Each structure stands twice: as structure tokens, then as C-alpha cells.
Structure 1
Amino acid sequence: MIELRGLSKSFRTRSGRKIVAQDISTIFPPRRAVAILGRNGAGKSTLLRMISGALDPDAGRVLRRGLVSWPVGFAGSFHPDLTGVQNVRFIARVYGIDTDELVDFVADFAELGAHLHQPVREYSSGMRSRLAFGSSMGIRFDTYLVDEVTAVGDAAFKAKSEALFEARLQDSAAIVVSHAMGQVRRLCDHGCVLEGGRLHFHEEVEAAIAHHQRLMNAPEAED
């Protein structure tokens, strides 16, 4: 379970201060998948990074119970000068799991072939996403944080990614940032909408999607 207590975050921009989170308090329940929806630039990925601990809030706290993944899909997950295999082994050591087992899992799942032994800086964005998703799914986290990553690849790879993700959700929770409403409907139990620094939690996914679609059809408010 993950709980946000009075979470606030903003950034200074040329056009003024951008508010990402404004006194957000909510609970993400255990063993449930929750979608975070919102306009481009609303701060969904930033919120996910705060939940993971990769970014500090200006105020408030994130309470994490159980093992929480890094934000899968975030490009900063890997050291660019290390090979894919070296990065996977480093991740395994950080989380205290067998390095060879994780490497074997990622090699089989990500389908990167010889690229797995090349520096990550030479990877395309799609290859990085495959490496990130495979590395995360190879570890049994209590909560998975996922940022659009299952959208990468051809139809067969997307289907394989969703099937693996659904299998992990039998025993784990997830917080999913996605613009694909079909994917949200298939994978998520609840939904949140982030707008103007406020996070609106909906018990029903369809209610969250409807809220999001109303916002997308409405003019964006000025800061």
C-alpha cells in the first residue's frame, strides 16, 4: 500500500510557477491497479517519481509499505555507459535477488539479443523500455510503477507485455500512467485524474476515464 499525505510539488518556469501537486492526500490500495490520467504536462510522471522516492516533494510525505519498483519507463533508470546485462546485474544486487536469474529472465523476455551486451547509450528508446519493463517484471514487487512502457513494440510484444503484467497483478499492486484508455480498462481497478495539482480518485475506472475525457474536451485553464 502507498499513502500520500499532504504532498506538494511545484517548479519555476519562464511563464511562472508550475504546480504539479497541491496538498495531495490519498491511499493507493494493496493488490489493486490504479491508473493516473491527465493532460500532457499535468505532472503524472513527476508524481510517479515522487511516489517511487526518486524525486523529493516540496512538502508532505509518501508512505510506502512493501517493495516498490522504480518508475518503469523513466530513462534515468539505467547507467548509459554500462551494458544492458551490467545494468540488470546492478539492479539485481540493489534488490537482493539472484543476478543470473534476473539476467536470464530479461534476456528471454526483452528479446534484445546481442544488444543486451552493448552499452545502454546505444539503445533506442524502445529498447530501453523493453529492458526497463523486463527488469522490473523480473522482480516480485509489492507495487509496480509503470509509465506507458507496455505501449512499446509490435502487437505481439505488446500482448506479451500485458499478459505478464496481468500475471504480476494477481499478487501485486500497480500505479499506471497511460494515455491508452483501452489498456486502462483492461488492467486497472481504479483511476485518478491529475489536474491543476489536484488528484481526484475514482473507485470506478469508467468514472475516471469520463472525468479525463471531459478535461481533454475543455479549454486548458491558465496558470
Structure 2
Amino acid sequence: MILLDNITKCYRTRRTEQYIFENLSFEIPAEHNIAILGSNGAGKSTLFRLIAGSEYPNSGNIVTDKSISWPVALSTGIHAQMTGRENTRFIGRVNGVSDLTEYEKRVVEFAELGDRYDIPVAKYSSGMRSRLAFACSLGIEFDIYLIDEVTAVGDANFKRKAKQALLERSKQANVIMVSHQMSELRQFCDSAIVIHQGELTFYNDLEEGIKQYQALSI
């Protein structure tokens, strides 16, 4: 369960305030693999960051009894001045990994960075950063994985590898996913949340959620 309790989130500029969510209360149900659907600017990425704890609401609280990953496939949590190895061990410690040596071994094998694992991440390509972030996240057994455009991770071979690993992990854990590819959402998800005008609606059936989202887009 993830409970959004009277959440308000807005971004302030010099002239105005842009509200993404205002006094929003909503319970994201457990034991579902959920697709997050909404038009550009609806608040999908903001919702992800709020759930992950990488961004805070202006008011209200987010309550959960689950362990939640940061948004996988983004370089969130990766420090540019640290090496891949240093990032891995730091992330492992922060997330309470008991066997850092074994964890690091899994990350090294999965990320496929070779010798570049020991150079600063600032010198990585965007694809390399994403691969490191993906490997670090998937190497930890979270209850829920936040997946943001998994097709953006690395080259074609790595994308296939990442998808297969995520499918295996989703048998024991749950995923909440953002993707513009309906085929990808159908591969991973069984239900949907549609974001529209600051409101969230849960659909127990994925196809019904997609249908409602597409109707809003017409």
C-alpha cells in the first residue's frame, strides 16, 4: 500500500504557481503491477519522484509499508564525481545491503561497464549512467520497483537483458511503470492509474485503463 494523504505539489516561478496535485488523497493498491498513464505534463514523473522520496510535496504526506526503488532507468541517485564502484557501494550502504561484496558483483556483471566501472560517472555516456542505475536498483530486493521508460536503458542487447531481468523480478515484487509504449506496459502491467487534471483513477483492468487514457487524448 502507498497512501497519498492530502498531497499538494506545485512549482513556483516568479510570476505564478503551477499546481500538479492539490489536496490529493489516493491509495495506490498493493499486489498490482501498475501502468501510470497521462498526457505530457499531467504529473507522471512528479508522482514517481514523490513516491520515491526524491522530491517532497509542498504539503501532505506519503505513507507506505513497502520498500520502494528510485525510478529505474534514470540516473537518479548516481553521483557524477564518484566512480561506478563508489556509487554502487554507497547505494548499497544507504539501502541496507548486508553483503556489499556480493551486491557489487551482481552490479558489475549486469551493468557491463568493464574498466569504466572505476572511472568517475561524469565521464560516462547517458546510456552507461542508466545501465549503472538500473543494475544498482535491480540488485536490491525492493518490494516495488518504479520503472521509467525501461526501453531507454542502453543498446538493443542490454534492453532485452534488462526487460528479461525485470520480468523475472516482477514475479516476486511489484512494478509501477511509466512508458509511452503500450506494448511494453502490456508486457509488465495488469492494471493502470490514469492521471488527469490533477486527479488519479485506478483501473483494475489494464485494458480499461488504456481505453480511458486514449479517450482523454482524442
Could you say whether these structures have the same fold, taking a TM-score greater than 0.5 normalized by the shorter chain as the test? Answer: yes
Report the equivalent of 1:143: 144
Whether the 8 Å contact between 1:21 and 1:47 is mirrored in structure 2 is no
Q: CA deviation at 1:48?
A: 0.8
Please give the per-residue CA displacement for 1:41-97, whole angstroms capped at 9, x wherever unaligned.
222111111111221112222111121112223434111100011100001111221
- The residue that corresponds to 1:51 in the other structure is 51
Number of the residue aligned with 1:161: 162
Question: Deviations 1:115-144 (Å, cap 9, x if unpaired)?
Answer: 211111111221111111111110000111
Aligned residues with identical type, % of pairs: 45
Where relative contact order (Cα < 8 A, 6+ residues apart) is larger, the structure is 1
**Which aligned runs of 4 or more in structure 1 are off by greater than 6 angstroms?**
none
Unaligned 5+ segments in structure 1 are 218-223
Cα distance in structure 2, aligned partners of 1:15 and 1:160:
46
Say whether 1:188 aligns with 2:189: yes
In structure 1, the partner of 2:75 is: 75
From the superposition, tell whether residues 215 and 14 of structure 1 become closer, same or farther in structure 2 (CA, over 3 Å).
Answer: farther
Q: What amino acid maps onto 2:213 in structure 1?
A: H
Residue in 1 aligned with 2:39? 39
CA distance, structure 2, for counterparts of residue 25 and residue 167 of structure 1: 32
1:22 is aligned to 22
- Check the 8 A contact 1:190/1:203 in 2, yes or no: yes
Cα distance, 1:163–1:15 mapped onto 2, change above 3 Å: farther
**Aligned pairs for 1:167-206 within 5 A:** 167-206=168-207
TM-score, structure 2 normalization: 0.91
- Number of aligned residue pairs: give it: 217
Paired amino acid for 1:22: E
150-159 or 160-169, which deviates more: 150-159
1:90-105 map, 5 Å: 90-97=90-97, 98-105=99-106
Tell me the distance in 2 between the aligned counterparts of 1:75 and 1:157. 16
Q: Separation in 1 of the partners of 2:168 and 2:65?
A: 21
- When residues 182 and 13 of structure 1 are mapped into structure 2, their CA distance, relative to the original with a 3 A threshold, is farther
SS at match of 1:7: strand
Question: When the two structures are superposed, what TM-score results if normalisation uses the length of structure 1?
Answer: 0.90
Instruction: Report the residue type matching 1:46 in the other structure.
Output: T
What SS does the aligned partner of 1:200 have?
strand
Could you tell me how far 1:109 is from its partner in structure 2? 1.0
Amino acid at match of 1:174: V
Structure 2 unpaired stretches of 5+: none
* 1:159 to partner: Cα distance: 1.8
Residue 220 (structure 1) aligns with? none
Deviation at 1:15, TM superposition (A): 7.3
Amino acid at match of 1:155: A
How many angstroms apart in 1 are the aligned matches of 2:61 and 2:17? Answer: 21
CA RMSD of aligned residues (A): 1.8
Q: CA deviation at 1:150?
A: 4.0
